[in-house]
Protein backbone atom coordinates (compact mmCIF):
# COMPACT_ATOMS: atom_id res chain seq x y z
CA UNK A 1 0.00 0.00 0.00
CA UNK A 2 0.97 3.63 -0.46
CA UNK A 3 2.01 5.46 2.73
CA UNK A 4 2.85 9.13 3.10
CA UNK A 5 4.63 10.49 6.18
CA UNK A 6 5.51 13.96 7.43
CA UNK A 7 8.66 13.55 9.49
CA UNK A 8 10.67 16.00 11.52
CA UNK A 9 14.42 15.48 11.61
CA UNK A 10 17.21 16.98 13.68
CA UNK A 11 19.48 19.35 11.78
CA UNK A 12 22.57 17.15 12.01
CA UNK A 13 24.15 14.92 9.32
CA UNK A 14 22.88 11.38 8.79
CA UNK A 15 19.31 12.02 9.87
CA UNK A 16 17.70 11.48 6.48
CA UNK A 17 19.46 8.15 5.98
CA UNK A 18 18.35 7.16 9.46
CA UNK A 19 14.75 7.83 8.48
CA UNK A 20 14.85 6.12 5.09
CA UNK A 21 16.87 3.04 5.89
CA UNK A 22 14.17 1.10 7.79
CA UNK A 23 11.76 1.58 4.90
CA UNK A 24 14.07 -0.21 2.48
CA UNK A 25 14.99 -2.78 5.08
CA UNK A 26 11.33 -3.66 5.48
CA UNK A 27 10.95 -4.15 1.74
CA UNK A 28 9.40 -0.77 1.07
CA UNK A 29 9.84 1.18 -2.11
CA UNK A 30 10.45 4.91 -1.77
CA UNK A 31 8.45 6.94 -4.27
CA UNK A 32 9.35 10.49 -3.30
CA UNK A 33 11.26 12.46 -0.68
CA UNK A 34 11.06 16.21 -0.15
CA UNK A 35 13.40 17.81 2.31
CA UNK A 36 12.94 21.43 3.42
CA UNK A 37 16.14 22.55 5.11
CA UNK A 38 15.07 26.19 4.90
CA UNK A 39 11.76 25.72 6.73
CA UNK A 40 12.50 24.77 10.30
CA UNK A 41 9.66 23.86 12.62
CA UNK A 42 9.17 25.83 15.90
CA UNK A 43 11.02 23.00 17.62
CA UNK A 44 14.03 23.64 15.31
CA UNK A 45 13.50 20.44 13.35
CA UNK A 46 13.56 20.04 9.56
CA UNK A 47 10.30 18.88 7.95
CA UNK A 48 10.61 15.99 5.47
CA UNK A 49 7.82 14.44 3.45
CA UNK A 50 8.18 10.92 2.17
CA UNK A 51 5.95 8.65 0.17
CA UNK A 52 6.55 4.94 -0.27
CA UNK A 53 4.98 1.62 -1.13
CA UNK A 54 5.10 -1.03 1.55
CA UNK A 55 3.40 -4.22 2.59
CA UNK A 56 0.41 -3.24 4.75
CA UNK A 57 1.44 -5.68 7.49
CA UNK A 58 4.78 -3.97 8.00
CA UNK A 59 3.65 -0.41 8.62
CA UNK A 60 3.37 -0.79 12.38
CA UNK A 61 6.85 -2.28 12.68
CA UNK A 62 8.18 0.60 10.61
CA UNK A 63 6.53 3.21 12.79
CA UNK A 64 7.97 1.77 15.99
CA UNK A 65 11.45 1.48 14.46
CA UNK A 66 11.37 5.11 13.39
CA UNK A 67 10.29 6.14 16.85
CA UNK A 68 13.08 4.08 18.42
CA UNK A 69 15.55 5.87 16.18
CA UNK A 70 14.28 9.22 17.44
CA UNK A 71 12.52 10.22 14.23
CA UNK A 72 9.47 12.38 14.88
CA UNK A 73 6.43 11.34 12.86
CA UNK A 74 4.22 14.41 12.64
CA UNK A 75 1.62 12.78 10.41
CA UNK A 76 0.99 9.50 8.66
CA UNK A 77 -1.36 8.90 5.75
CA UNK A 78 -2.30 5.43 4.64
CA UNK A 79 -3.84 5.31 1.24
CA UNK A 80 -5.15 1.85 1.63
CA UNK A 81 -7.26 1.41 -1.51
CA UNK A 82 -5.04 2.89 -4.13
CA UNK A 83 -5.88 1.03 -7.32
CA UNK A 84 -9.13 2.05 -8.88
CA UNK A 85 -11.19 0.78 -11.79
CA UNK A 86 -14.41 1.97 -13.31
CA UNK A 87 -16.84 -0.50 -14.82
CA UNK A 88 -20.28 -0.30 -16.31
CA UNK A 89 -22.90 -2.99 -15.85
CA UNK A 90 -25.96 -3.34 -18.07
CA UNK A 91 -28.89 -5.69 -17.51
CA UNK A 92 -31.38 -6.56 -14.80
CA UNK A 93 -29.06 -5.20 -12.18
CA UNK A 94 -31.54 -4.74 -9.36
CA UNK A 95 -33.35 -8.02 -9.98
CA UNK A 96 -30.03 -9.78 -9.96
CA UNK A 97 -29.37 -8.27 -6.51
CA UNK A 98 -26.90 -5.43 -6.75
CA UNK A 99 -26.47 -5.58 -2.95
CA UNK A 100 -25.11 -9.11 -3.26
CA UNK A 101 -22.78 -8.07 -6.09
CA UNK A 102 -21.34 -5.30 -3.93
CA UNK A 103 -21.14 -7.52 -0.83
CA UNK A 104 -19.15 -10.11 -2.74
CA UNK A 105 -16.58 -7.51 -3.77
CA UNK A 106 -16.45 -5.89 -0.32
CA UNK A 107 -16.23 -9.35 1.24
CA UNK A 108 -12.82 -9.95 -0.31
CA UNK A 109 -11.22 -7.68 2.29
CA UNK A 110 -8.84 -6.30 -0.33
CA UNK A 111 -11.31 -4.51 -2.61
CA UNK A 112 -14.41 -2.39 -2.22
CA UNK A 113 -17.13 -0.81 -4.31
CA UNK A 114 -16.63 2.91 -3.57
CA UNK A 115 -19.19 4.45 -5.76
CA UNK A 116 -22.34 3.35 -7.49
CA UNK A 117 -24.43 5.36 -9.94
CA UNK A 118 -27.50 3.80 -11.49
CA UNK A 119 -30.02 4.58 -14.19
CA UNK A 120 -33.26 2.61 -14.33
CA UNK A 121 -35.40 3.75 -17.25
CA UNK A 122 -38.29 1.31 -16.69
CA UNK A 123 -39.34 -1.93 -15.03
CA UNK A 124 -38.94 -4.14 -18.08
CA UNK A 125 -35.93 -2.33 -19.45
CA UNK A 126 -32.28 -2.88 -18.76
CA UNK A 127 -30.73 -0.80 -16.05
CA UNK A 128 -27.23 0.56 -16.28
CA UNK A 129 -24.80 1.11 -13.44
CA UNK A 130 -21.38 2.59 -13.02
CA UNK A 131 -19.25 1.11 -10.26
CA UNK A 132 -15.94 2.29 -8.98
CA UNK A 133 -13.92 -0.46 -7.47
CA UNK A 134 -10.84 0.17 -5.36
CA UNK A 135 -8.28 -2.32 -4.17
CA UNK A 136 -5.12 -2.25 -2.13
CA UNK A 137 -2.87 -3.12 -5.06
CA UNK A 138 -2.77 -4.01 -8.74
CA UNK A 139 -2.91 -7.74 -8.16
CA UNK A 140 -5.85 -7.39 -5.78
CA UNK A 141 -7.68 -5.19 -8.28
CA UNK A 142 -7.21 -7.72 -11.00
CA UNK A 143 -8.54 -10.45 -8.67
CA UNK A 144 -11.57 -8.29 -7.85
CA UNK A 145 -12.19 -7.76 -11.58
CA UNK A 146 -12.02 -11.49 -12.18
CA UNK A 147 -14.56 -12.00 -9.40
CA UNK A 148 -16.80 -9.34 -10.93
CA UNK A 149 -16.54 -11.02 -14.34
CA UNK A 150 -17.74 -14.27 -12.84
CA UNK A 151 -20.59 -12.55 -11.00
CA UNK A 152 -21.67 -10.73 -14.18
CA UNK A 153 -21.51 -13.96 -16.15
CA UNK A 154 -23.60 -15.84 -13.57
CA UNK A 155 -26.18 -13.07 -13.33
CA UNK A 156 -26.36 -12.53 -17.08
CA UNK A 157 -25.13 -8.95 -16.89
CA UNK A 158 -23.04 -7.19 -19.50
CA UNK A 159 -19.79 -5.99 -17.91
CA UNK A 160 -17.93 -3.20 -19.68
CA UNK A 161 -14.30 -2.79 -18.64
CA UNK A 162 -11.64 -0.28 -19.54
CA UNK A 163 -9.35 -0.90 -22.52
CA UNK A 164 -5.90 -2.23 -21.64
CA UNK A 165 -3.69 0.31 -23.37
CA UNK A 166 -2.70 3.34 -21.33
CA UNK A 167 -2.78 6.88 -22.62
CA UNK A 168 0.83 7.73 -23.36
Partner 1 sequence: MLKKVRILIVGFGVIGRGVARSISEKREFINGKYGIDFELVGIGEREGSIVCEKGIDPMEACMLKSLNEHPHWKEGAKAIDIIKGVDADIVIEATPTNIDTGEPGMSHMMAAFETKKHVVTSNKGPLTVAYTRLKKAAEENDIKFMFEASVGGAMPVLNMVRGTLQANEILGIEGILNGTCNYILTRMMTEGLPYEHVLSEAQELGIAESDPTYDVEGIDTACKLVILANSIFDMDISYKDVSVTGITNITSEALKLAYDDGYVIKLVGEIQNNNKPAVAPHLVPKDHPLAVGGTLNIISIRTDLAGEITVTGKGAGAVETSSSILSDLISIANEIP
107-131 burial code (b ≥16 CB/10 A, e <16): eeebbbbeeeeeeeeeeeeebbbeb
Kindly state the smallest distance separating residue 154's Cβ from partner 1, in Å.
16
State which residue, 82 or 92, has the beta carbon closest to partner 1.
92
Kindly state the smallest distance separating residue 168's Cβ from partner 1, in Å.
6
State which residue, 38 or 166, has the beta carbon closest to partner 1.
166
What is the Cα–Cα distance from 4 to 123, expressed in whole angstroms? 47
Kindly state the smallest distance separating residue 77's Cβ from partner 1, in Å.
25
State which residue, 107 or 156, has the beta carbon closest to partner 1.
156
Sites of contact with partner 1 (CB under 8 A): 86-88, 90-91, 117, 119, 121, 125-130, 132, 158, 160-165, 167-168
Gyration radius of the chain over CA positions: 22
1 with 54: CB under 8 angstroms?
yes
Amino acid sequence: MRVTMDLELKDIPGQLVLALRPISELGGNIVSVTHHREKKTPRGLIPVQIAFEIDEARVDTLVSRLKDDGVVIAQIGRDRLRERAVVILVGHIVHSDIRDTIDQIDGTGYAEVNDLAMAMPGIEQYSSARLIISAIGKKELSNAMELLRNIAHEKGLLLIERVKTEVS
